[in-house]
C-alpha cells in the first residue's frame, strides 16, 4: 500500500511510519523538517500552519496514496485544508483523534456512541477536545463517512513518547531512593502502546474500516503495581517503591494524572473516564496489546539511547512531582500504620 503520513516523525506518527515500513508499504511523510523521519521514507516538507504550507503536497506529481494518516492536534482548519486538498488523490483518511471528544464526564464503559462535544471543521485552535472533534468533522466532511476512520485514542505510552508520562516514572525510579508509589498497587490501568495503536490502525485501513473506534487497551491490561515494578526491573535502580494510599496523596494537594502520571485514584468520575472505556469494537477488529513489561523495557531502551531526557511537546503540560513534595508526603505517610508498603528492587 501507498501511505501518506502527515507528521510521522514523533511518537504516534513515527510508530505508524515504522509499522508501515515493516509491512513493506511505500511511505511518504509530510513534515516541517524539525525531526528526522525513519530511514526508507519519502519526505515532503511544509508547515501546515503557515500560508501556502501545503504547497509541497499540492505540487506532488506522484500517483497518490491508498490512505492518509493524520495526527494533528490543534486548529481543525489544518485538517480540513489538508483533507480537501487530498480528496481524490487518496483513498482513505485516518484521523488520530482522542477520547476527549466525548462530553465530560465520560461514563464508565462508555462506547463510541457516547455524546460528543461540539466542534467545527474550519475552526481555529480553542481547546484540545474541541480541536480534536473539529478534526474529526474535517476528515469526514472531506472524505465522507465511508472513507474516513476516526481513531479515538486513550492513554498512549511507549518509545518516542513526548508527553512525559512513562519517561517520568522511568527517570524517577532510575534516580533511586524511596519512591512515592500511588496505590492501590492492584489498581487496574487502561492504556495502549503507540506501536499497538499503529498496528491496529494499519490493519483497519487494510480492512477498509470506517467510523469511530475507541483505541486503548482493555481495562485492567495491567495495574499500577505491575507498571512500576516493570520500571524498577528495567532500570535496575536502587529504588524502593513505597505504596501509599490515595488519601494522604490527595490531602497533600498532589494532582493525579499530571504530578503522578498515569495514576488516578479509584472510585471517581476521572478514574472511570480514563481507565474504564469500552474498547470491544477495537478488540473485535484486531487490536492486540503487548505485555506492559515489553512497553516499559523498550521505552527505557529508547530513553537511554537518547541520553536519558525525553522530548517534550510544547503544547503539553510538564508531568511529574516535585521531589520536595514527594519527600514530605513520604515522611508524613511513613508514620501512619498500614499506609505505606515497601517494595525493593528484588521484588517481581
pLDDT cut 70: percent of the chain above it: 95
Residues 174-195: tens digit of each pLDDT? 999 999 999 999 999 999 999 9
Say if residues 123 and 77 touch (Cβ distance below 8 Å): yes
Say if residues 7 and 70 touch (Cβ distance below 8 Å): yes
User: pLDDT at position 140, please?
Assistant: 98
Domain count, the chain: 2
My answer on whether 177 and 311 are in the same domain is yes
Say if residues 209 and 149 touch (Cβ distance below 8 Å): yes
Q: pLDDT tier at 342 (50, 70, 90 boundaries)?
A: low
Going from the C-alpha of 145 to that of each of 82, 137, 200, 245, the distances in angstroms are 17, 10, 19, 46
Q: pLDDT tier at 346 (50, 70, 90 boundaries)?
A: very low
Residues 36-55: tens digit of each pLDDT? 999 999 999 999 999 999 99
Q: pLDDT tier at 333 (50, 70, 90 boundaries)?
A: low
What is the pTM for the complete model shown?
0.95
Range of the domain at 111: 2-153
Residues 237-291: tens digit of each pLDDT? 999 999 999 999 999 999 999 999 999 999 999 999 999 999 999 999 999 999 9
My answer on whether 142 and 114 are in the same domain is yes
User: pLDDT at position 334, please?
Assistant: 52
Say if residues 110 and 163 touch (Cβ distance below 8 Å): no
My answer on whether 35 and 9 are in the same domain is yes
Domain membership of residue 209 (yes or no) is no
My answer on whether 131 and 237 are in the same domain is no
Domain membership of residue 308 (yes or no) is yes
Cell of 254: 498532589
Going from the C-alpha of 321 to that of each of 255, 256, 277, 288, 341, the distances in angstroms are 9, 10, 27, 32, 20
Amino acid at each position: 500500500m501507498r501511505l501518506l503520513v502527515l507528521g510521522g516523525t514523533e511518537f504516534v506518527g513515527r510508530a505508524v511510519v515504522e509499522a508501515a515500513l515493516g509491512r513493506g508499504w511505500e511511505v511518504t511523510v509530510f513534515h516541517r523538517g524539525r525531526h528526522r523521519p525513519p530511514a526508507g521514507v519519502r519526505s515532503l516538507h511544509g508547515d501546515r500552519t503557515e500560508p501556502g504550507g501545503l504547497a509541497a503536497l499540492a505540487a506532488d506529481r506522484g500517483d497518490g496514496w491508498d490512505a492518509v494518516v493524520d495526527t494533528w492536534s490543534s486548529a481543525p482548519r489544518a485538517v480540513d485544508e489538508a483533507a480537501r486538498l487530498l480528496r481524490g488523490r487518496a483513498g482513505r483518511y485516518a484521523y488520530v483523534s482522542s477520547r476527549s471528544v466525548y462530553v465530560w464526564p465520560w461514563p464508565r464503559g462508555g462506547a463510541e456512541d457516547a455524546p460528543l462535544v461540539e466542534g467545527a471543521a474550519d475552526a481555529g485552535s480553542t481547546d484540545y477536545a474541541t480541536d480534536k472533534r473539529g478534526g474529526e468533522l474535517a476528515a469526514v466532511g472531506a472524505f465522507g463517512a465511508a472513507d474516513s476512520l476516526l481513531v479515538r485514542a486513550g492513554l498512549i505510552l511507549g518509545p518516542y513518547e513526548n508527553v512525559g508520562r512513562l519517561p517520568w516514572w522511568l527517570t524517577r525510579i532510575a534516580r533511586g531512593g524511596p519512591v512515592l508509589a500511588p496505590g492501590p498497587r492492584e489498581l487496574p490501568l487502561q492504556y495502549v502502546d503507540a506501536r499497538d495503536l499503529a498496528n491496529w490502525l494499519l490493519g483497519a485501513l487494510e480492512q477498509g474500516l470506517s467510523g469511530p473506534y475507541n483505541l486503548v487497551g482493555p481495562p485492567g491490561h495491567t495495574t499500577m503495581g505491575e507498571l512500576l515494578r516493570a520500571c524498577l526491573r528495567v532500570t535496575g535502580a536502587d529504588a524502593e517503591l513505597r505504596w501509599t494510599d490515595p488519601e494522604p496523596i490527595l490531602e497533600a494537594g498532589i494532582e493525579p494524572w499530571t504530578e503522578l502520571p498515569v495514576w488516578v485514584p479509584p472510585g471517581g468520575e476521572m478514574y472511570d473516564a480514563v481507565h474504564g472505556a469500552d474498547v470491544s469494537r477495537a478488540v473485535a477488529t484486531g487490536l492486540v496489546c503487548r505485555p506492559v513489561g515489553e512497553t516499559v523495557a523498550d521505552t527505557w531502551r529508547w530513553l537511554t539511547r537518547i541520553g536519558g531526557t525525553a522530548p517534550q511537546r510544547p503544547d503539553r503540560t510538564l508531568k511529574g512531582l516535585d521531589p520536595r513534595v514527594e519527600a514530605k508526603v513520604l515522611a508524613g505517610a511513613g508514620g501512619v500504620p498500614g499506609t505505606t508498603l515497601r517494595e525493593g528492587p528484588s521484588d517481581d
